[in-house]
Amino acid sequence: MTATSDTPELRTANTTCCHKHLSITASAVSMTVGVFSNSFALFILIKSYNRLRIKSKASFLVFASSLVITDLLGHLINGSLVLYVYCSQRKWETFDPHGVVCSIFGVCMVFYGLSPLFLGSAMAVERCIGVTRPIFHSTALASHHVKRLLALSWLLAALVAFLPVLLQRPYEVQSSGSWCFFHMEQPKDWLDVLLPLLFSFLGLLALMLSIICNTFASCALLHGRLRHKQSCRVTPYHLEMICQLLTIMLVSCVCWGPLLIHVIVLSTRRKEESVCFSLLTTVRMATWNQILDPWVYILLRRAVLKKIFMLFHSCWSSKHPDLPYWQCRMVGSSMEASKSDPRCPAAPDTAITSITGSLACGSHLNTLSSSPHHQ
């Protein structure tokens, strides 16, 4: 694939547009932090998958591990290309006269941008079905269906990424001279407008699907918890996964929303404006999505959430002495509910927690009964 004839002029004229805003240090730090974060999160997810063999949890862990692997490869490949461009002094006409590196760079930017959004929406759909239709989830969503859904997400992202190359609309060096993307300045025909709009609309559609499915799943869990029905489904790992999905959705909306909307605005504008700093800023915001995603799985785990809850509980108990008595009543009622429902056998960690809580409550009630205030 060869570059367009007016690309060298654009490169020469625009390489100084954002020179003062660029820094190789920022790219190197972003790449290092992203690789470390995703590697650490991948280790945690693999460890959780080997330890817990619950089918509904395993499907979610497969999606989550695929998302982390995609983010890891995105940081490695895109970060390496950015460092290579900086080390080459951003002289594209010297090291990339035929536009091959630029085409590869643009394909990677689009693919590793859309893939996390598609995988996040697929995770939200899978968890919504698992919470609202557990029987259908256990029978219809087998492991090979999960793998097909993963392959479909990657295939759709790859199709959008390779579409400019297939339609002979090559990616172009942007005005900063440090990365490649769709043709954003003075579109020549309807294809130059359609390609970035397709990228943005598919990304926004994935975000909207994630919001809808996560909202339905969260409302279903909250409704089941409040009504004290279907208590078997409202398990700790369900709540853990919903918290992770809601956080991923929030991070994706904050990081990717400005870029997707900005691309739509730039594609539909008519007058010539400088898009150097604004587009580069939104792209850098989007790269933080791949950095923050793994920390969702690192921080929003049951072990970490339990420690945070215990810390909050200790601080709250010191200010409100009546809280332990209220907690005793809640623990007692939950134990009675679990005994009355034969479908919900207590898990080992739940049983230990209940026994420990009841012992602590019993000692606290004895203390209250012997105190002069309660006599």
Share of the chain above pLDDT 90, in %: 28
pLDDT tens profile 314-351: 777 666 555 444 444 444 444 444 444 443 444 434 33
Q: Residue 279's closest CA among 32, 109, 112?
A: 109
Task: Decide: helix, strand or coil at residue 178.
Answer: coil
pLDDT score of 56: 56
pLDDT score of 218: 84
| Residue 65 near residue 123 (C-beta atoms within 8 A) | no
Domains in the chain with CATH codes: 18-316 (1.20.1070.10)
pLDDT tens profile 16-31: 444 434 568 888 888 9
Higher pLDDT, 24 or 109: 109
Higher pLDDT, 244 or 32: 32
**Could you tell me which residues are beta bridge partners of residue 181?**
172
Other CB atoms within a 10 A radius of the CB of residue 212 amount to 14
Higher pLDDT, 167 or 225: 167
Q: How large is the average pLDDT for residues 249-259? A: 91
Q: How large is the average pLDDT for residues 246-271? A: 86
pLDDT score of 192: 87
- Whether 68 shows a pLDDT value over 70: the answer reads yes
CA distances from 89 to 7, 22, 300 (A): 17, 12, 41
**What pTM, to 2 d.p., does this model score?**
0.73
Higher pLDDT, 70 or 14: 70
- Whether 9 shows a pLDDT value over 70: the answer reads no
Query: Which residue stretches of the chain are H helix?
Result: 7-14, 24-51, 55-87, 92-95, 100-132, 134-140, 143-166, 190-227, 236-268, 276-299, 302-319, 323-340, 348-370
pLDDT tens profile 196-230: 999 999 999 999 999 999 888 888 887 777 775 54
Task: Decide: helix, strand or coil at residue 180.
Answer: strand
Average pLDDT, the chain: 75
| Residue 221 near residue 134 (C-beta atoms within 8 A) | no
- Whether 13 shows a pLDDT value over 80: the answer reads no
pLDDT score of 374: 44
Residue 296 burial by Cβ neighbours in a 10 Å radius (0-12, 13-18, 19+) = buried
pLDDT score of 200: 95
**Least confident among 147-151, 185-189, 212-216:** 185-189
- Whether 108 shows a pLDDT value over 90: the answer reads yes
